[in-house]
Chain A
Amino acid sequence: MKIHEFQAKSILSRAGVPVPAGEVCETAGQARVAAEKLSEAGRPLVVKAQIHAGGRGKGGGIKLVRSAGEAEKAAGEMIGSTLVTPQTGPEGRTVGRVLVEQGLDIQRELYAGIAFDRASAMDVMMVSTEGGVEIEEVAKNTPEKIHKEYIDPVTGIQPYQARGLAYRLGLAGDLAREAGKVFQALYTAYTANEASLAEINPLVITAQGRVIALDAKMNFDDNALFRHKDIAAMRDPLEEDPLEREANECGLNYIKLSGNVGCMVNGAGLAMATMDIIKQAGGEPANFLDVGGGANVETVGNGFRIICKDPNVGAVLINIFGGIVRCDRVAQGVVDFLGGFGLEVPVVVRLQGTNAQQGKKIIQEAKLGFQWADSFREAAEKAVAAAKGGAR
């Protein structure tokens, strides 16, 4: 699960990471009041659009302002607008809130982040002198500028590790001590909330010799949210695709894509393989949908309903491997449910595994216009061809 910058900053701040003074605002009027409160003579303020995507500066989502009036104007322009950044895709994201913050006298921009490393099954903290740019770019172009510390899950981060990272960034004296404390606090916030990623980019050093998180990003382990109710409550439904949200509420794994061949599959691996074979057959998948290993009438029905709400879908491919749940039962479920659904698009069905032939018979005798496919490849080819002719 992702959260907003202002939420990540509140979590980091509670753990002891210094963040700029700021307030989150839902209206231009609130932004004006916040700006008046935060304003200090001669110092600028920053208005930052709150969306779950980076690259906001490039899309006009971060504005430097010099007065409460300017803050109000900038907030008014951002709130309710669609912000397109290099990370949002062309459709962009709707801005619901802005963060108004005090500007800082920035001397240096660093990077500090922590994430889970799968190969070692340990958390790894990474710091770099190259702050303010994508860390993936740094990793690709100048990997020697990223310094890492692997953290033992039993002991957590040790002070020597945090200090060592600060020294490797070329910091000294009080600054090194401050940075070390920030790294330890970052780890605390990450591990106490079972985050999967916590990133401060940039971590700035100010002219006044302070170390402050100018931006912050945190992602969380969905499987651990049940024991972090406060984090779970930070979910922003406006940031989610409406169809994905609906699928999630039905307990389905659905990811909307941009193609026109809808697909419904049982099991995540087979669902990915089905998307791949649709592409190989010359089409583009409209979605990823895993209805669960043991597909049943309810999940198949909900899945179909959600797929068909996507206006791009020109045909649907149902690919179910019937194991313990037999193909004849899956076929009966599909027929019972879809018989009353009023099909608007061609449907290609391929059932493989237990009782596949009985399943075929049920599908064909239902006379609902389903196209049957015996093989995996044939199913993809038929669905792609049907989608070309079946656009609504």
Chain B
Amino acid sequence: MSILVGRDTRVVIQGITGGEGSFHARQMIEYGTNVVAGVTPGRGGQKFEDKVPVFDTVAQAVQATGADSSVVFVPSAFAADAVMEAAAAGVKLVVCITEGIPVLDMVRVKRFLAGRSTRLIGPNCPGIITPGACKIGIMPGFIHKPGRVGVVSRSGTLTYEAVWQLSELGIGQSTCIGIGGDPVVGTTHLDALELFNADPDTNAVLLIGEIGGTAEEAAARFAKERMNKPVAAFIAGRTAPPGRRMGHAGAIISGGVGTAQSKIEYLRSCGVAVAESPADIGRTLQGLLK
């Protein structure tokens, strides 16, 4: 009933002994995520909370525990290295939470991942959750509800808001993916729609986008040409001034490209139901389920 992560997912946490890493490691374990290992160079041999073995390298963690997914809580200057280390160790899914990674580092990471079987989610993202089964990231688990709507978003708290609206309406989620607010991300809106389209347990998809770039348009084209499931959307930033970076590194209208208006018009022309107001995201999706 999900994509990418579920009950069988075996997670290694990179940066498990740091402030963010240890806090969210506890949250993930509490949610029921199968956290099998942690990695902090120089801390190999220790145990996190007397339970989770810590290793010096991801390769050691994978060999000893069979971890197949990782989550990166490593500071921005070292995060690209951590992602590549996980990919080199054969981890299938890497979720990078870290914010503030230089663009050039991410360009190199993308190159490194090309031709490998590792999927990257993020960076600068809340992570991925299959409600009731597996949470890899920093999102509050309890707002989610198991169900059949896929959610993909560039944002953090706006996604929580949208998921909350869905859950309040009694609409559960198959999987929610935060793809991240940076200009270069591992998994795009389009990639997520492809995965949800192929998932027999997802009936509809909610896409949350914002100003900057043209990733939402590429996804909308796919929705129109290939998808057999309805898509609802919200695009944030109608009031954002051009040329200013709105918090997220990727949320910038440059050279007239990437306005909310142009995205909304394009999505609608592709048959996507776009919510006018952020207060109506849940109801817009609900309207597609009848």
The interface of chain A, by Cβ under 8 A from chain B, is 116, 118-119, 121-122, 135-136, 139-140, 153-154, 191, 194, 196, 221-224, 226-227, 253, 255, 257, 265-280, 285, 288, 290, 293, 321, 323-324, 352-354, 375-377
Q: Is the CB of B208 within 8 A of A269?
A: yes
Contacts of A253 in B (CB 8 A): 246-247
Q: A267-B156, A269-B248 are in contact. Are A122 and B107 (CB under 8 A)?
A: yes
- CB B186 to nearest CB in A, in angstroms, measures 10
Q: A224-B104, A269-B156, A271-B247 are in contact. Are A321 and B237 (CB under 8 A)?
A: no
In B152-210, the 8 Å CB interface with A consists of 153-161, 164, 181, 183-184, 208, 210
- CB B192 to nearest CB in A, in angstroms, measures 16
Contacts of B160 in A (CB 8 A): 321, 323, 353
Q: Is the CB of B278 within 8 A of A273?
A: yes
Q: Which residue of A lies closest to B218 (CB)?
A: A119
Q: A187 vs B211: C-alpha distance in the bound complex, in angstroms?
A: 28
Q: A135 vs B255: C-alpha distance in the bound complex, in angstroms?
A: 9
- Let me know if B41 is at the binding interface, CB within 8 A: no
Total chain B interface residues with beta-carbon distance under 8 A: 62
Contact partner, B143, options A122, A153, A288, A353, Cβ 8 Å: A353
Contacts of A288 in B (CB 8 A): 240, 244, 246-247
Q: A119-B213, A139-B255 are in contact. Are A273 and B234 (CB under 8 A)?
A: yes
Binds A, one of B8-16, B86-94, B95-103: B95-103
Q: Is the CB of B277 within 8 A of A280?
A: yes
Q: A143 vs B248: C-alpha distance in the bound complex, in angstroms?
A: 30
Binds A, one of B55-63, B64-72, B134-142: B134-142
**Please, could you name 5 A-B residue pairs with CB atoms under 8 Å apart, sorted by A?**
A269-B181, A270-B278, A271-B247, A279-B238, A324-B140
Contacts of A352 in B (CB 8 A): 161, 164
Contact partner, A323, options B139, B154, B239, B250, Cβ 8 Å: B139
- CB B123 to nearest CB in A, in angstroms, measures 10
Contacts of B106 in A (CB 8 A): 121
Q: Is the CB of B159 within 8 A of A269?
A: yes
Q: A272 vs B156: C-alpha distance in the bound complex, in angstroms?
A: 12
Q: Is the CB of A293 within 8 A of B140?
A: no
Contacts of A353 in B (CB 8 A): 140, 143, 160, 164
Contacts of A277 in B (CB 8 A): 277-279
Q: Is the CB of A268 within 8 A of B239?
A: no
Q: A118-B250, A121-B184, A293-B157 are in contact. Are A354 and B140 (CB under 8 A)?
A: yes
B246-279 vs A, CB cutoff 8 Å, 1 = contact: the mask equals: 1111110001100010000000000000001111
- Let me know if B286 is at the binding interface, CB within 8 A: no
Q: A293 vs B158: C-alpha distance in the bound complex, in angstroms?
A: 10
Contact partner, A268, options B110, B161, B251, Cβ 8 Å: B251
Q: A270-B155, A324-B27 are in contact. Are A255 and B279 (CB under 8 A)?
A: no
Q: Which residue of B lies closest to A276 (CB)?
A: B238
Contacts of A136 in B (CB 8 A): 255-256
- Let me know if B116 is at the binding interface, CB within 8 A: no
Can you name 6 extra interface pairs (CB under 8 A) apart from A276-B236, A285-B239? A116-B103, A253-B246, A253-B247, A270-B158, A271-B246, A272-B210
9 closest pairs, A vs B, by CB? A269-B155, A268-B247, A267-B157, A269-B158, A323-B140, A224-B102, A273-B278, A272-B236, A376-B279
